[in-house]
Chains A and B, each alone.
Chain A
């Protein structure tokens, strides 16, 4: 493809990226923080989309990975003096390991069983953090604070978070158009048929869970680095519900949708909550409206303009 055609095809994406690059130059500190949250939760939502939107696995414990990433980074930085970057390999290994264990225990059974077990495991991990026995390490309900700064200025952190989102998006895009990614969609569409054309469905689900877990773990550790604190809530059911909302509101099976969903949820959380006492009620109405009128999520507005269908999108 020539550069011109390339530019044409990705024009709107490029404009959006340029806006995001220029944003810190004319925005307040507060907007930067909100934007960083969106970038990081965008990655978290992308990771959930690989699982729910592409593979068709509904996990109710996705925050386990987010929390693990955050706590592994925080503990290693605070207690062992590691730099943020040096903790990354440990985050990857621990999240991959947890993904493997959870997957091997539960993925061979019906999906509803997986959903319930992940919910229980998520709660278990949350109590593990807030337990009196682990208090001296995890700080219990208070969490851990005063993580060393990864980069000197807020602007640098902003660009790091943006680069993280772009990299995660690019990698996820690569994965879903690969033979493995296409097989995940086939499993979502018809697990039995996928088996009967010779795919080892369990292996593919495991791989999906591990990839998704690693990505969610990295989002967690970036979140810890950005806030310079971790809280047990990172591991809690409300974090899982947030990521489910982001993915469904934005549009499952589209990668970009969940990022838009992350933006919507975080903007609602930040702004509605400061203007309205009953903001959750308003948020609930927004949620119902989106589900009723845009069942394929926010991203379907974009598709409506482009009149193009995505190969991976749910119909």
Chain B
């Protein structure tokens, strides 16, 4: 039997990905915490959108763009950082710009501010760029990365390529050509004419200046984008798909699984979170209900100090709830078995309500994830 930890053996980067709202951030933090507890590794968890509760549980005042150390009594160390897209973009521009003045002009450009602040497509790229930067610092043995919850969950994977394409696109060259030389590119004419008609020439001037400034960053950007891409393709980088047993998250995760496979990226496992516990199964429930039916409710009622009618109502309600939960639990296991028929190792996990409120809880959830055993294939 392979455990989830074994499946991610010598990884230096674990990328958790999947649809939104399924406990991806919590899983990433819990895995990192448990690994840092058990093993003499310097672990960093890079989250995108941590809950206040998680920050509290980790005992940090709030999670910022710069890594913070979590106080952990374990074999290794744990740091936590959050992606602040705006700060990361600004830092990137400062790093890549040829000089201070260019950097400032870009940072002050109204288009730049709008793109990075308001329009979220750029967040996908910056998440991966930030990973690259943190890897480059060489301070961690393992980085667990939580990815932005995008509907098209693959945006962040394609972002480096898109960014490189963007900078090398002929259109970008066309649009900045008139500004670069006094001879207006003939090819750009119909486009600039159209853009002018639609957007007005002031806008065109703004956009041209912006792209002209950006183009001075071109070589650096394309190179970085390629490096980010190869980082994701490295042997020591593995993806952990996270979903729940519900139909829509499962469908989205299935799509994700296929796309990762298509790109020949390494998938260490597929974690199905929020499973109902194993003791909820048809046989056990039937046995339990039968045992309960034989009991004298008057006796139980006097034990807990309620009247018999209340006790009978409570028993009936408890049985009804158990039966509902058991049907759902059964359906979940069928779902898990169906997923396990594929090539990706599948792991199931149960999360207790309110479990992640403390560091101890986060750690024990992480331990459970690490020791989760691969769901066997039944042919």
Q: Do A and B come from one complex?
A: no
